[in-house]
Structure 1
Amino acid sequence: MDTAGKTIAVVGATGLQGRTVTAHLLAGGWRVRALTRDPAGTAARALAEAGAQIVRAEMDDPASLAAAAEGAYGVFSVQPTVGSPGTAAGFSAGDEVRWGRNVADAAHAVSVRHFVYTSVAGAGRHGTERLPQNVVSKHRIERHIGELGLPATILRPVSFMENYTGAYHLHGGTLTAPFAADVPQQIIAVDDVGALTALAFARPGDWIGRAVNLAGDELTPPQIAAAVSEAVGRPLPYVRIPLETVASAVGEEFAFAYRWLNERGYRADVSATRALHPGLMDLRTWLAASGAAQIKDFLAARDSGEREG
């Protein structure tokens, strides 16, 4: 597709996915309208310096979304999920669904020609088994997109490799999680989601009407810990958090989500994802490209804080 003069409105542009989607779209020759609630923030200023147009909009304000999407060829939509790194305190599953519906409604109101929504792997199995709340919420947004009849692509990534770059999994010299040590977990680099988003927008004939599970690697937690340890040059052994601890600390719903990952999991196809995107990164490739540097920065900052404390 000739992208010259065409604009994509990126919702959540200053977030983890939004930033990489914006970068890939700009590299592909698109104009990018970066939607953010804080146009004066550091992240928004960085996007502006990269070439994006910064527009104030909030996912809880449908009118601002419609105004920001007016005249755009396409819209990229992603919402935070309860419990994910950086999610605001008090944010609920109902908030996620409402925000996702608001974005879809705005895109429909201004008749965008291509809508790309980032969901989560497993959402397509709704109705066949009990699913974690975050998967159910994203399925509800998917269903609303379908009911509107939007020309849409649904991308369903598994867990992000970036979850291993901070306090979400790194504690006290270990890599921790409630995952069973012998069960492979599926992960993907967020940059690859950005690359696939740009690919979908560039090839609408191939991508509109599709819903695709995406994964970049599949490793057991000890294998992930070993790869991370090697990349950063310090031991970070895997320590499993008991599901009972999760249930008592943050609730049974969170414990169920980890139990589901241990027993059923995302079931994405890594080889199929690589066929769509030959540059897909596995964990070691991602660590060499940027992951190890991010982890080292986090560990150095934490070690410095512990010494000062």
Structure 2
Amino acid sequence: MKLTEKIVVVAGATGLQGRAVTHHLLRDGWQVRALTRDPNGAPAEALARAGAQVVRAQMEDADSLTAAAEGAWGLFSVQPTVGSPGTAPDFTAEDEVRWGVNVAEAARAAGIGHFVFTSVAEADRHLEEKVPVNLVSKWRIEQHIASLGLPVTILRPVSFMENFTGGYALRNGNLSTGLAPEVPQQIMAVDDVGAVAALAFSRPTEWIGRQVSLAGDELTPVQIAAAIGKSLGIPLPYVQIPIETIRALSEDFAYANEWLNTLGYRADIPATRRIHPAAMDFDTWLERTGASQIAAFLDSTRPAGT
């Protein structure tokens, strides 16, 4: 049986990464079992129309995951972090770790032949320095996966370009985050993570046992704002949110911004392009999908009649 005649399960299939992985796998001829808590929702129905088998399963329900993984060859796993779109207000780092552990345990119970987990760049620096809480939670999941002896590939992307498409960064006519204006930040298009995951599944003998950091570009927030403004034909100043303002809302989020402004990601961008030569830089991402996403968000927030 050819690899592409086997089934790959995608946990979190209706999220940004899950959708990207599902579409790349389907494009490459795989059978895809897309897991979601809401099979009747619009995102799940879109995956079904694209050719995926949509299955109800929840990452907090280990039994549902094990049942959904039975008979599959591969499994892709990604979990949201605290504050991710769509997570409950009381979602914690402990929930994230528990969900990641549940998916890994389901993979072992089902005898999965290739497990691909999306972590985050620099998660392995947890042992050397204080890092943001989301890196620690991903590292804890990685360590549990290792303890199970799964045939695994670990993908560690940096921050996503998609972070700049909505209310997280676009407000009051500005691009506005806690990032220092002139400090370069490494970024990656979510679609390219999907492409690398599909590549890993297609070459298991080459990819099982690897941990790979991924980054597609490196720009300062001022450069990011200028690129967005140029692509949309609008002025878009960059305004830094004071760290103390962020700290008043969340100590963890404040520290994450301080870490990005001082230590930050150190992924090897040329190495990413050797793996995936089509990896998008920021301008390419804007041209293909980013500018239209940002324009749609800005249109949706514009007062009626303006």
> TM-score normalized by structure 2?
0.98
Query: In the aligned structure 2, how far is the partner of 1:221 from the partner of 1:272?
Result: 23
Is contact 2:83–2:89 with CA below 8 Å preserved after alignment?
no
Q: After superposition, what is the alpha-carbon deviation per residue over 1:155-206, rounded to whole angstroms, capped at 9, x for unaligned?
A: 0001110111110100010000111111100110000000000000001111
Is contact 1:3–1:29 with CA below 8 Å preserved after alignment?
no
Instruction: Give how far 1:308 is off.
Output: 6.3
Query: In the aligned structure 1, how far is the partner of 2:235 from the partner of 2:15?
Result: 30
Query: In the aligned structure 2, how far is the partner of 1:11 from the partner of 1:308?
Result: 42
Query: In the aligned structure 1, how far is the partner of 2:237 from the partner of 2:87?
Result: 27
Which residue does the alignment assign to 2:299?
A: 300
Is contact 1:85–1:168 with CA below 8 Å preserved after alignment?
no
1:28 equivalent in alignment to 2:28: yes
Query: In the aligned structure 2, how far is the partner of 1:203 from the partner of 1:9?
Result: 17
Is contact 2:216–2:281 with CA below 8 Å preserved after alignment?
yes
Which residue does the alignment assign to 1:241?
A: 241
Is contact 1:13–1:22 with CA below 8 Å preserved after alignment?
yes
User: Runs of 5+ in structure 1 lacking a partner?
Assistant: none
1:270 equivalent in alignment to 2:299: no
Q: After superposition, what is the alpha-carbon deviation per residue over 1:216-264, rounded to whole angstroms, capped at 9, x for unaligned?
A: 000000000000000111111100001000001x221110111011111
Query: In the aligned structure 1, how far is the partner of 2:184 from the partner of 2:133?
Result: 21
Is contact 1:85–1:163 with CA below 8 Å preserved after alignment?
no
Instruction: Give how far 1:5 is off.
Output: 1.8
Query: In the aligned structure 2, how far is the partner of 1:201 from the partner of 1:156?
Result: 16
Query: In the aligned structure 1, how far is the partner of 2:63 from the partner of 2:298?
Result: 42
Q: Residue 213 of structure 1 aligns to which amino acid in structure 2?
A: S
1:176 equivalent in alignment to 2:176: yes
Is contact 2:78–2:118 with CA below 8 Å preserved after alignment?
yes
Q: Residue 275 of structure 1 aligns to which amino acid in structure 2?
A: R
Which residue does the alignment assign to 1:61?
A: 61
Instruction: Give how far 1:45 is off.
Output: 0.5
Is contact 2:10–2:75 with CA below 8 Å preserved after alignment?
yes
Query: In the aligned structure 2, how far is the partner of 1:54 from the partner of 1:212?
Result: 29
Instruction: Give how far 1:85 is off.
Output: 3.5
Secondary structure of the structure 2 residue equivalent to 1:105: helix
Query: In the aligned structure 1, how far is the partner of 2:34 from the partner of 2:110?
Result: 17
Which residue does the alignment assign to 1:123?
A: 123
Query: In the aligned structure 2, how far is the partner of 1:83 from the partner of 1:263?
Result: 22
Instruction: Give how far 1:2 is off.
Output: 3.3
Instruction: Give how far 1:87 is off.
Output: 2.9
Which residue does the alignment assign to 2:282?
A: 283
Query: In the aligned structure 2, how far is the partner of 1:79 from the partner of 1:258?
Result: 21
Is contact 1:229–1:236 with CA below 8 Å preserved after alignment?
yes
Which residue does the alignment assign to 1:146?
A: 146
Query: In the aligned structure 2, how far is the partner of 1:261 from the partner of 1:20?
Result: 26
1:134 equivalent in alignment to 2:134: yes
Query: In the aligned structure 1, how far is the partner of 2:232 from the partner of 2:7?
Result: 40
Query: In the aligned structure 1, how far is the partner of 2:289 from the partner of 2:12?
Result: 22
Query: In the aligned structure 2, how far is the partner of 1:88 from the partner of 1:63?
Result: 21
Query: In the aligned structure 2, how far is the partner of 1:243 from the partner of 1:257?
Result: 10
Is contact 2:11–2:18 with CA below 8 Å preserved after alignment?
yes
Let me know the Cα RMSD of the aligned residues. 1.2
Residue correspondence of structure 1 range 3-152 to structure 2 within 5 A: 3-152=3-152
Is contact 2:55–2:68 with CA below 8 Å preserved after alignment?
yes
Q: After superposition, what is the alpha-carbon deviation per residue over 1:40-62, rounded to whole angstroms, capped at 9, x for unaligned?
A: 11111100000000101000111
Which of structure 1's runs of 4+ aligned residues deviate more than 6 A? Answer: none
Which residue does the alignment assign to 1:259?
A: 258
